[in-house]
Amino acid sequence: MKYPHLFEPLAIGSAVFRNRIFSSPQGYYNVAKDNLPSLDEVAYYERKARGGFASVTVGDCIVEDETGTHYPFLLRLEDRSTLPGLAAIASGVTRHGAVASAELNHAGMYARFVKYPDGSVYGADSMKNAAASTVLGGNLYGPVYIENGKYGEVLEMPEEMILRIIDKFGKAAAWAKSAGFGMVTVHGGHGWLLSQFMSPTVNTRKDRWGGSFENCMRLPLAVIESIRKNVGKNFPIEYRFSGSEASATGYDIDYGVKFAQAIDGKVDIIHVSAGDHEDDHSIVITHPSMFMEDGINVKYAAEIKKHVKTPVATVGALTDPEMMEDIIASGRADIVELGRQSLADPDLPTKARTGREDDINKCLRCNTCLEHTGSIRSLRCATNPEIGFERDAKIPRPITERKRVLVAGGGIGGMQAAITAAERGHEVILCEKSDKLGGVLRCEQDVPFKKRLHEYLDRQARRIAKAPIDLRLNTEVTPELARSLNADVIFAALGAVPSIPPIAGINGANVTEATALYAAPETAGANVAVIGGGLVGIELAIYLRTLGKTVTIIEQLPTLVSDDAGMHLLAHDELLRQPDITIHRGTSVTEITPSGVTCRNDGGEFKIPADTVVIAAGQSPRRTEAIALHNCAPEFYQIGDCVTPHRIITATSQAWTIARDV
């Protein structure tokens, strides 16, 4: 076996884990008003087990909803009507050979959603001030009193409440066990209640529940003891915490080691994460961005592993089975846990075990999944269109009639449409006007932080090469060609072209377009002005800075796309603060000259020196070319950027869905 350490079974108490690859805790927020588990949720977790993960953890199970809920749509283990749904999830995971785990959590002072005397739940952060929430009866509680906490006034948690919550953790674990779960995962990290109490900077209480290290440890240890009492000595307990909070105000790895030593032998797995969920700088370490190296957080687990005997799990930016094997073989950790990667490819364990590493769809770390969780409460993946539609995906779609399918365009959408149509048994012809598949995104193939995107495009190209697809490169689909091929179905996936704004001097010798500069960055001068503060402009600026260029971003709108609070955009924000990048918001370019650009904003007119001026002003869809094909076959579909330029997920989702309908 190529990865003997990665696939060595692990026996812990009453559980046997078939390998060392766990699916780390992920919440499922696409719930109905009653917050009970749905069939969609069952299918979501079951899919990971079916793909070969040894353990699948249901994230964000709240142990006490009166004071501990940070979103109103979380699983609440106090609600006994959750039993059938929990049992269905546990069964869906375990019947595929994996161990189902429930993550037990309490948000503490970050609860945001608290329960009022009438039983309803409101968001404390939706109130205009802390006093309003107090009057209504919903108070926030933490280790100490904070007059102006992030979500309002925080009251010091009285001892009787602490004791009640300890009991709730134990009862929640017993409830999960009764539903068929084979393990519980205690969430003691990322800034939630247990980490608030263990924090030497947050927990400055003067009683036995804070102040000294021993007192800060009292609540976590009491929770572990309560759970053990309720589930028995052989039932596995995983404890998840931040090895380092990785922030200026949080604790470091030395304190993390000290904490791990305190729980060593009292739990069965020490799961070492990093960061603080409520700190913008720290959270992009909890969820490493594409700008960070693979396995960047393994160092925390590796250090803790030196000081404890309990099996240690590591998590964060892990996509490569070879790296995972080395982590375990070298003794840096005993278990690897995958979060976003389990969405990009739920079949990673099976593919790695059976020698199909080249077919693993590696996570781009674009954080499309997290952004969709925040915006529509449903997980999605940019490159895996199955995610969010697991129930639909597992239903076979046999074709009633084999059709000739012509796909015009070999970019993101075109490749996915061709692959899906061929998998279903249709005769597929894929035409691409250039000499290579991948579309406009191929221009970024040498950008280090876009490495995984390039690998994704290569993987899709390999899938096409292996499939019964008639691939025709250097072939532009005209209406004449389309008619001559006698297709039953046409997919127009013709993409978009750069938008060129009407600026004086736009055709100057020092002016180029973003995709052209990505393809030939050596042509850029020392000082570069980027016109456009969207994703393309921002990421180009970040890339050029790594090449030693001084960059100015000019955006006509009052905000950049990175001014949004999305997870990926937080990573942008960190990098845009670096030296040699200047940003002008609310600024228009009135003229481009050989020496730079002339700009205007509320402060008047000014000049920005630049050797190279880059246009990153968006894309214009090739609608005219696409529509010209509409009457060349009985069925006609437009997908991707030739409809409206958007992100990768739009193209993959449309292509996969429509190709399954044909």
Burial of 541 (0-12, 13-18, 19+ CB in 10 A): buried
Q: What is the average pLDDT across 464-493?
A: 98
For residue 124, name the pLDDT band (cuts at 50, 70, 90).
very low
Digit-coded pLDDT (tens) for 230-244: 999 999 999 999 999
Judge whether 488 and 443 are in contact, CB under 8 Å: no
Whether 128 has a pLDDT exceeding 70, the answer reads no
Judge whether 649 and 380 are in contact, CB under 8 Å: yes
Digit-coded pLDDT (tens) for 461-476: 999 999 999 999 999 9
Phi and psi angles of residue 422, each rounded to the nearest 5 degrees, phi first = -70, -40
Which has the minimum average pLDDT: 226-235, 620-629, 638-647? 638-647
3-state secondary structure of 248: coil
Judge whether 151 and 49 are in contact, CB under 8 Å: no
Q: What is the average pLDDT across 191-217?
A: 96
pLDDT score recorded for residue 136: 36
Whether 643 has a pLDDT exceeding 80, the answer reads yes
pTM: 0.93
Instruction: DSSP for 296-350, please give it.
Output: TTHHHHHHHHTT-SS-EEEESS---HHHHHHHHHTTS-SEEEESHHHHH-TTHHH
Q: Which letter does DSSP use for residue 489 in this model?
A: E
Instruction: Using DSSP bridges, classify how beta strands 596-601 and 604-609 pair: parallel, antiparallel or unpaired.
Output: antiparallel
3-state secondary structure of 115: strand
Digit-coded pLDDT (tens) for 519-563: 999 999 999 999 999 999 999 999 999 999 999 999 999 988 866
Alpha helices in 122-192 (DSSP H): 130-136, 159-178
Whether 607 has a pLDDT exceeding 60, the answer reads yes
Whether 125 has a pLDDT exceeding 50, the answer reads no
Task: Please check whether the domain covering 398-497+621-661 is classified as CATH 3.40.190.10.
Answer: no
The CA–CA distances, whole Å, from 226 to 79, 192, 234, 252, 604 equal 19, 18, 14, 28, 66
Alpha helices in 232-297 (DSSP H): 253-263, 280-286
pLDDT score recorded for residue 122: 46
pLDDT score recorded for residue 129: 38
Q: What is the average pLDDT across 311-336?
A: 98
Distance CA 263, CA 25 (A): 20
Judge whether 294 and 323 are in contact, CB under 8 Å: yes
Class of domain 511-617 as given by CATH: alpha beta
Who contacts 329 (Cβ-Cβ below 8 Å, separation ≥6)?
5
Q: Chain-centre distance of CA 558, in angstroms? A: 28
Q: Which long-range contacts (CB under 8 A, 24 or more apart) does 250-253 make?
A: 250/199, 250/201, 250/276, 250/279, 250/282, 251/199, 251/200, 251/201, 253/299, 253/300, 253/303, 253/304
Q: Which letter does DSSP use for residue 591 in this model?
A: E
Instruction: Using DSSP bridges, classify how beta strands 619-621 and 469-472 pair: parallel, antiparallel or unpaired.
Output: unpaired
Who contacts 610 (Cβ-Cβ below 8 Å, separation ≥6)?
510, 525, 527, 528, 529, 552, 595, 596, 597
Q: Which letter does DSSP use for residue 448 in this model?
A: G
3-state secondary structure of 608: strand
**Residue 408: closest CA among 327, 512, 326, 483:** 483
For residue 257, name the pLDDT band (cuts at 50, 70, 90).
very high
> Of residues 125 and 49, which shows the higher confidence score?
49
For residue 130, name the pLDDT band (cuts at 50, 70, 90).
very low
Reported as type and span, the H/E element at residue 496 is strand 496-498
Hey, what are 205's tokens? 């209480």
Digit-coded pLDDT (tens) for 62-83: 999 889 988 888 899 999 999 9
pLDDT score recorded for residue 372: 86
For residue 362, name the pLDDT band (cuts at 50, 70, 90).
very high
Q: What is the average pLDDT across 239-263?
A: 96
Q: For 545-573, give the secondary structure using H, E and C.
A: HHCCCEEEEECCCCCCHHHCCCHHHHHHH
Q: Which letter does DSSP use for residue 190 in this model?
A: B
- Burial string for 465-477 (b: 16+ CB within 10 Å, else e) reads eeeebebbeebeb
Hey, what are 547's tokens? 């090449």
Over its C-alpha atoms, the chain yields an Rg (Å, rounded) of 27
Fold of 10-391: TIM Barrel (3.20.20)
Reported as type and span, the H/E element at residue 61 is strand 55-62
Q: For 407-442, give the secondary structure using H, E and C.
A: EECCCHHHHHHHHHHHHCCCEEEEECCCCCCCHHHH
Alpha helices in 101-250 (DSSP H): 130-136, 159-178, 193-198, 213-216, 218-231
Residue written as token pair 């060129």: 500
For residue 117, name the pLDDT band (cuts at 50, 70, 90).
low
Whether 602 has a pLDDT exceeding 70, the answer reads yes
Residue written as token pair 């969780």: 373
For residue 118, name the pLDDT band (cuts at 50, 70, 90).
low
Judge whether 343 and 369 are in contact, CB under 8 Å: yes
Who contacts 593 (Cβ-Cβ below 8 Å, separation ≥6)?
505, 508
Phi and psi angles of residue 59, each rounded to the nearest 5 degrees, phi first = -85, 160
Average pLDDT, the chain: 93
Q: What is the average pLDDT across 617-643?
A: 95
Digit-coded pLDDT (tens) for 377-429: 889 999 999 999 999 998 888 999 999 999 999 999 999 999 999 999 999 99
Indicate the domain borders of the chain: 10-391, 398-497+621-661, 511-617
3-state secondary structure of 15: strand
Judge whether 378 and 388 are in contact, CB under 8 Å: yes
Residue written as token pair 């609440």: 76
Judge whether 98 and 49 are in contact, CB under 8 Å: yes
pLDDT score recorded for residue 638: 97
Which has the minimum average pLDDT: 162-171, 276-285, 385-394, 408-417? 276-285
Distance CA 243, CA 190 (A): 10
For residue 33, name the pLDDT band (cuts at 50, 70, 90).
confident
Helices 39-50, 83-94: inter-axial angle, 10-degree rounding: 20
